Structure 1
């Protein structure tokens, strides 16, 4: 008898993402079941219902996926799920809140590829400024880059206090070093980017983080990537379709949101398929997403 692959998709928000539902079904899941408004304290009971409803040798055919809009909460839900497992009963576990894990992974993979192709450099060779690091995509991009050895500056648009708390959280959780920086004015942002090699703009959609004059004044800049596809774009002078395109007036190359998008989708699709094809239960977060995305980018 064929055992169906079933994905239980949980989110703390009002709705489960239709994007993720479509992606999971296209990846090959036989059934994708949405659960909205899930609180942390409900995770254990739901997960144990998932694992105890099937014999241990069929646990790998069940999966739990966490969505939402909070990168850290999704990691906490993964940990709660792992604690809820009762061996030999198990299941696959994955998170991708607001697509942030796979988007950040794809973006950093594109940056890594561009550094190699255009400048013969690696992530460990550069300083990266991440704008929007309190958000889901920026947070994950900052952590991925720091784990790969980059010197990472996380920029606070509203001053130093909130971003400093986020930086301490990153450092405690992942054993990395990131530098919080005040980016609350154009003058401070201009001064900051004079000493960085890579810029990641992951601020809220429709907000311009940096203007063309600022980018052209960043003499050390090698690569700039913009996660925003909603006008005005996050970095003036980078088109949404740019993929290793020269940025006018600089020696740098730009990566636009719609160049990152296809790789993000392939990464999420690939992780979902990995769970379907696995012989042993998987636990997948943004680190696994980056490992896959960099193979897609090479």
Structure 2
């Protein structure tokens, strides 16, 4: 029986990237739907769950992607509401690559550090990737500082994360001034730069001068680098005793995790792969 992945994308044109990765990951067919609205979901889900018997539903799965993370999360919630009893298929939720990228960044960091013993700052921590990196850092016991250009925005995201991690390890910060950035980085051991393209957070002398800094991960693939001096191809390179990763250096692992997650969807008909479950899969991938 063919393994069919049904792609739900809120964007006008469904992502060709996601479709190519799905085929390379072992899906036999990818049915791609763009411009998906919440009211479209039930009919598409019914087409997935009523076409095969319960024992064969593991051969069908749904991927929720697109660039609009909030819209994708609404669609994912609607998908789960449509399932009932054994009539369900596995679902992977990875809008804008946010879950697989965050999982790859954290998996790379865990090769070098015990996250329970560090304090990290997440520049751009209010974006989809940054918020998920912060979530996973907290999951592994790190102290975390989330930055945004306004304290209001970083506080909003911190409040959401504190509902899951209410133990006081999370701090909201803003990067509006040089003094603010200096304060944010005092006493940290790791930096994750996950901001928008074109935003540079620190010059090279600034991050290299941070006492106790052990690791930097810059996920910005578009010049200028989020952290000056980090090359996009850096993959565990050491500069002045600091381990460095760039966007492409992390990207190879992200692709392995993405493919492994798509492949995992066809193991059963009741899996929901999102931030934590994709992170667990990343641990398996790195272990290999």
> Does the aligned pair in 1 maintain the 2:90–2:268 contact within 8 Å?
no
Q: Deviations over 1:213-240 (max 9, x none)?
A: 2112211211110001211111112111
CA distance in 2, matches of 1:54, 1:175: 43
Please state how far the C-alpha of 1:70 moved relative to its aligned partner: 4.2
**For the structure 1 residues 144 and 20, does the alpha-carbon distance in structure 2 shift closer, same or farther, using more than 3 Å as the test?**
same
CA distance in 2, matches of 1:75, 1:112: 28
Range with bigger deviation, 175-184 or 146-155: 175-184
Q: Deviations over 1:240-296 (max 9, x none)?
A: 122222224xx32111111101100000000111123x1443211121221122233
For residues 1-298 of structure 1, the aligned pairs below 5 Å read 3-115=1-113, 122-156=114-148, 158-172=149-163, 178-248=170-240, 251-276=241-266, 278-298=267-287
Range with bigger deviation, 47-56 or 74-83: 74-83
Range with bigger deviation, 47-56 or 171-180: 171-180
SS at match of 1:181: strand
Q: Deviations over 1:13-37 (max 9, x none)?
A: 1221111100101112121111111
SS at match of 1:24: helix
* Unmatched tracts of structure 2, length 5 or more: none
**For the structure 1 residues 236 and 220, does the alpha-carbon distance in structure 2 shift closer, same or farther, using more than 3 Å as the test?**
same
Please state how far the C-alpha of 1:206 moved relative to its aligned partner: 2.6
> Does the aligned pair in 2 maintain the 1:197–1:223 contact within 8 Å?
yes
Q: State the aligned residue count.
A: 286
SS at match of 1:103: helix
CA distance in 2, matches of 1:147, 1:86: 30
CA distance in 1, matches of 2:80, 2:188: 39
CA distance in 2, matches of 1:179, 1:47: 40
CA distance in 2, matches of 1:174, 1:272: 29
Q: Counterpart of 1:118?
A: none
> Does the aligned pair in 2 maintain the 1:226–1:238 contact within 8 Å?
yes
TM-score for both structures, normalised by structure 2: 0.93
> Does the aligned pair in 2 maintain the 1:194–1:220 contact within 8 Å?
no
